């Protein structure tokens, strides 16, 4: 199968460039079709469906529509990365993080996590557009991730006054060609400051800079800081062709199709499975009916035992009273007695307060009490709790306040994977 790569360009661009492993030396995509140009209008995307119905498609987006970053994340936060990353980058991104989808890969050699962010409406638009064109998206990559880094220094693609840069520490960024000089000069000054170099000292060795460009670079090189770079220029015939060839050697490019956008794997044996399922559906149905019949009989027996236990419990609780004729009357009598206890003082107030407070504990896997004390003089219930996080603890306190309780909370303490606190509850 041929692998088709589409260089989509910027979101507003009307056309895209296609390339395929089968078409490096020929314009033929498949045996029955030919295309005279590698540039196609985005509106004509569906014309590729018949020619490449079974081929995998890699879409390469422009880094101008993507937020690129490297961040440091705690080792303990690995399971919560997808939730934590937006809040780590929230102060560094102008767009609200709720409107972005974040994709990431493994940490690099410096222990930093490469992250790419794309507008949710943009990636959903792309997925829907390719689905309507009956093309299967295998990957969505960013052009800046297809630039191979040098062992030392920087590599840079210069095209249409845009610079795509990758440093030897795998930091990737883009800028306008006119801004590159002062940006790297600022970076050098910051590095010298961090390294505590004296005012009369400078970086002793010129940093290697590989420039790949499909246009003249004399003016660009002239603006570079003097003595800072050892420049080597490589002329390109085509920027997309260069990135396309690099893609074969780069295996750590971040695929934006992650989480809910990850392509669903098709089961090639689906038809055989359906035939096998049809042959045993009768047996499964019969087994299910037998199981339900046995379960119904078991539940009926258990219900009868519970009715007997209710009457027995009433006799144990009220030995001096005459036992009621039925279990329903026994339960009604015990409930009436409990309501009487809850309406008075002393123990009744404690039971009432305990009952109304425990009603708000709807999920014991998220929050649960470890100790309960009651101050009869103050009519206060003191409850020590452990919650999975601070939000759950605050939600429980708010729920009690909304139901008419007065709640005061002590400071929270982290306990294992959760947080502990004491609530003082009264009415």
Q: What is the pLDDT of residues 33-50, one digit of tens each?
A: 556 678 889 888 887 776
pLDDT one-digit tens code per residue, 209-241: 999 998 888 899 998 988 888 999 999 888 888
232 and 254 co-located in one domain: yes
Residue 24 has pLDDT above 50, yes or no: no
Chain-centre distance for alpha carbon 312: 55
166 and 188 co-located in one domain: yes
pLDDT one-digit tens code per residue, 155-195: 999 988 899 999 888 889 999 989 999 999 888 888 877 76
Is 75 a member of any domain?
yes
**Angstrom distance (rounded) from CA 338 to CA 331:** 11
Q: Which of 230, 259, 288 is the last residue of a domain?
A: 259
397 and 337 co-located in one domain: no
Is 338 a member of any domain?
yes
288 φ/ψ angles, rounded to the nearest 5 degrees: -65, -40
Is 210 a member of any domain?
yes
339 and 357 co-located in one domain: no
User: CB–CB of 234/213 below 8 Å?
Assistant: yes
**In which domain, by residue range, is 308 found?**
279-343
User: CB–CB of 324/311 below 8 Å?
Assistant: yes
Is 272 a member of any domain?
no
User: CB–CB of 121/114 below 8 Å?
Assistant: no
Is 267 a member of any domain?
no
Pairing outcome for strands 207-213 and 154-159:
parallel
225 φ/ψ angles, rounded to the nearest 5 degrees: -55, 135
Which tokens belong to 251? 């295996």
Number of domains in the chain: 3
8 and 92 co-located in one domain: yes
Q: Which of 300, 325, 343 is the last residue of a domain?
A: 343
38 and 93 co-located in one domain: yes
% of the chain beyond a pLDDT of 90: 22
Q: How many CB atoms lie within 10 A of CB 292?
A: 10
Q: What is the CATH number of the domain that holds 203?
A: 3.30.420.380
Which tokens belong to 24? 């490096």
Residue 66 has pLDDT above 90, yes or no: yes
**Angstrom distance (rounded) from CA 228 to CA 244:** 30
Residue 158: the pLDDT is: 92
Residue 411: the pLDDT is: 85
Phi-psi region of 203 (alpha: psi -120 to 50; beta: other; left: phi over 0): beta
pTM value is 0.58
**Angstrom distance (rounded) from CA 351 to CA 144:** 65
Residue 280: the pLDDT is: 87
Residue 286: the pLDDT is: 87
335 and 351 co-located in one domain: no
180 and 317 co-located in one domain: no
322 and 384 co-located in one domain: no
Is 352 a member of any domain?
yes
393 and 247 co-located in one domain: no
Q: What angle do CA 399, 400, 405 make, to 5 degrees?
A: 145
| Mean pLDDT for the stretch of residues 264-276 | 66
121 and 80 co-located in one domain: yes
359-380 residues labelled b (16+ CB within 10 A) or e (exposed): ebeeeeebbeeeeeebeeeebb
399 and 324 co-located in one domain: no
Is 414 a member of any domain?
yes
């Amino acid at each position: 199968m041929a692998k088709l790569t589409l260089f989509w360009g910027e979101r507003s661009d009307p056309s895209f460039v296609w390339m395929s492993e089968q078409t490096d030396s020929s314009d033929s995509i498949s045996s029955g079709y030919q295309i005279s140009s590698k540039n196609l209008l985005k509106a004509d995307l569906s014309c590729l469906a018949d020619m490449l119905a079974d081929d995998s498609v890699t879409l390469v987006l422009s880094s101008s529509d993507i937020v690129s970053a490297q961040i440091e994340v705690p080792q303990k936060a690995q399971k919560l990365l997808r939730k934590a990353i937006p809040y780590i980058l929230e102060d560094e991104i102008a767009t609200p993080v709720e409107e972005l989808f974040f994709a990431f890969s493994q940490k690099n050699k410096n222990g930093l996590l490469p992250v790419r962010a794309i507008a949710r409406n943009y990636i959903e638009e792309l997925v829907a557009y390719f689905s309507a064109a009956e093309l299967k998206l295998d990957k969505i990559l960013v052009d800046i991730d297809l630039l191979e880094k040098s062992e030392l220094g920087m590599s840079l693609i210069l095209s249409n006054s845009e610079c795509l840069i990758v440093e030897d520490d795998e930091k990737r960024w883009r800028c306008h060609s006119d801004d590159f000089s002062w940006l790297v000069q600022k970076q050098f000054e910051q590095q010298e400051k961090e390294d505590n170099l004296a005012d009369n000292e400078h970086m002793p060795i010129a940093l290697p800079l590989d420039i790949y460009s499909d246009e003249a670079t004399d003016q660009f090189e002239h603006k570079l800081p003097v003595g800072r770079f050892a420049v080597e220029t490589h002329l390109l015939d085509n920027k997309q062709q260069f990135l396309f060839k690099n893609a074969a050697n780069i295996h750590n490019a971040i695929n934006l199709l992650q989480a809910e956008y990850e392509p669903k794997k098709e089961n090639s044996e689906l038809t055989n499975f359906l035939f096998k399922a049809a042959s045993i559906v009768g047996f499964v149905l019969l087994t299910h009916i037998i199981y339900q019949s046995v379960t119904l009989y078991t539940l009926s027996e258990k219900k009868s035992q519970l009715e007997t236990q209710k009457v027995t419990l009433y006799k144990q609780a009220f030995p001096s009273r005459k036992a009621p004729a039925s279990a329903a009357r026994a339960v009604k009598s015990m409930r009436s007695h409990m309501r009487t206890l809850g309406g008075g003082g002393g123990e009744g107030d404690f039971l009432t307060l305990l009952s109304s407070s425990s009603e708000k504990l709807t999920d014991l896997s998220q929050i649960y009490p470890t100790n309960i004390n009651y101050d009869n003089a103050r009519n206060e219930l003191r409850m020590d709790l452990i919650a999975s996080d601070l939000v759950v603890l605050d939600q429980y306190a708010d729920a009690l306040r909304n139901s008419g309780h007065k709640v005061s909370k002590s400071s929270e303490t982290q306990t294992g994977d959760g947080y502990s606190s004491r609530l003082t509850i009264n009415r």
